[in-house]
Structure 1
Amino acid sequence: MLKNTVYDISTGLYTRRQGEILATSLLAKAKEEEKDGILLLIDFDYMSEINKKLGVSFGNRIINKVVSEFKKYTTKVDIAYRMSGDEFAFIFYDRDVKWVKNVAEEVLNFAIKYGEEIGHKISFSSGISSITKEKEDYKDMLLKARGALAIAKMEGRAKVVVDVDSVKQNNAINLLFVDDDRIILSILKSRYKNKGYNVYTASDGLEALEILKSSDIDLVVTDYYLKLMNGDELIKNIREKNSKIPIIVLSSQKNEDYIKRTLDLGADDYVVKPFSPVELDSRIKKLLD
């Protein structure tokens, strides 16, 4: 009995009551740690027709198929719960709006193709909301996400819509700074957040690659000498997966062979330490223009 009040029997996700309790806690954690918190609502478009024609059990199999695809993108920290029969909520911790929107669109394409395979029209509409300075309460985020979902329905279903406030918040450019010096990272984070950028930081190359995997980063600034993975290896790993993202290397090494090697590996610029913050501003701006 207790288990059934925590988990939805059909999907294995949290029930609405339990999900909202955990979502409120997770978003409070995100706010406290200055991390992104994103709410994604999805509502299946044609399930009532499918349930009438083919039965609820068949409809539940379709729902489970699509929901399982969403689960592939969630971590142990993220929250997923069933709001009602055809409506589900996903709360992503430390992911940005662009990434969540891309995930929703990928799963939507999966659902449409799955429907084509079994001969039924399958899709969902979705609304996305994020924590902003003006909107940090879960209930307020839910209201905004519902508004975006309503727009998706009105625009013809099978749409992914981000609420206006979240669009404004997340139009900022995402920078990733990689350095094993916590003081330098703190200074860079503070400086560029004040300039309106979304700032991500990593203390080593492995952590940087995880951030690049989970977030839509627009530019990387990395130290050359790193723990676990040096600058050469990090650049090589980034370039194997993304040929376009700009990379700036910071290094105390002035040797021309080092500079040439990093540029040949795919770095776009090389700044010698100690560096002028104004100079770094200029280099970043130039690569983003």
Structure 2
Amino acid sequence: MEKILIIEDNTMVVKSLQFKLKKDGYDVSVAEDGREALRLIKETTFNLVLTDLNLPFVTGNEIIAYLKENQPEIPIIVLSTSTQEDIIMNAFNMGVEDFITKPFSPNELSLRVRRLLSK
């Protein structure tokens, strides 16, 4: 079973993502802040990471940088309320595979996750 890590501090977003991804058959872990996320990333091997950029303690960008340096094979999807082009471009320049602007459709997210995990 493929393991997905959700790094998000908004409980409603987490619940909706968890519900959809578990229904799709994935093993889902959740970190509500960047510090917890880094601990989980060091302890467990994930097949995909979904992360917000604005997180308590350790930012999404710091997590992306850590993953790209230590586990570059793991695809990353950024979830963000930002529509600012520079923030989006910066995430892609750091090597993320996808960027979804909140609010988003759970079905759209499901398709993007499946597409990245089937590569």
TM-score normalised over the length of structure 2:
0.94
**Alignment correspondent of 2:30:** 201
| Per-residue deviation, 1:195 | 1.7
Q: Which residue does the alignment assign to 1:259? A: 88
SS in 2 for 1:270: strand
Contact 2:82/2:101 (CA < 8 Å) preserved in 1? yes
Aligned amino acid, residue 5 of structure 2: L
Do 1:175 and 1:218's aligned partners in 2 also have CA atoms closer than 8 Å?
yes
Describe the SS at the equivalent of 1:180.
coil
The 1-side partners of 2:42 and 2:59 are apart by 18
Q: What code does the residue aligned with 2:78 have?
A: V
- Offset, 1:190: 2.0
1:20-75 deviations in whole A, cap 9, x for unaligned? xxxxxxxxxxxxxxxxxxxxxxxxxxxxxxxxxxxxxxxxxxxxxxxxxxxxxxxx
Paired residues for 1:194-233 under 5 Å? 194-233=23-62
Query: Which stretches in structure 2 are left out of the alignment for 5+ residues?
Result: none
Equivalent pairs: percent with the same residue?
A: 38
Q: Following the alignment from structure 1 to structure 2, what is the Cα–Cα distance between the partners of residues 252 and 184?
A: 12
| Residue 186 of structure 1: how far off its partner (Å) | 1.9
Q: Does 1:241 align with 2:70?
A: yes
**Contact 1:209–1:238 (Cα < 8 Å) also in 2:** no
Secondary structure, aligned partner of 1:262: helix
2:102 — aligned with what? 273
Give the CA deviation at 1:188: 1.4
**Runs in 1 of length 4+ with deviation above 3 angstroms?**
none
Bigger share in helix: 1
Q: Following TM superposition, by how much is the alpha carbon of 1:211 offset from its aligned partner in structure 2, in angstroms?
A: 0.9
- SS of the equivalent of 1:200 reads strand
Partner amino acid, structure 1, of 2:24: K
Q: Is the 8 A contact 1:221 1:247 kept in 2?
A: yes
CA distance in 1 between counterparts of 2:108 and 2:23 reads 17
- Paired residues, what number? 118
Contact 2:52 2:80 in 1 (8 A): yes
Whole-Å separation in 1 of the counterparts to 2:42 and 2:8: 18
The structural deviation recorded for 1:184 is: 1.6
Alpha-carbon offset, residue 229 of structure 1: 1.6
Secondary structure at the aligned position of 2:4 is classed as: strand
CA RMSD of aligned residues (A): 1.0
Kept in 2, the 8 Å contact 1:176–1:202? The answer is yes
For 2:12 and 2:81, locate their aligned partners in 1 and report how far apart those are by CA, in whole Å: 16
User: Whose RCO is larger (CA < 8 A, sep 6+)?
Assistant: 2
1:179-216 Cα offsets, whole Å, 9 max, x none, are 01122212211221122110000001111111111112
Corresponding residue for residue 173 of structure 1:
2
TM-score normalized by the length of structure 1 = 0.40
Given that 1:175 and 1:197 are in contact with CA atoms closer than 8 Å, whether structure 2 keeps it comes out as yes
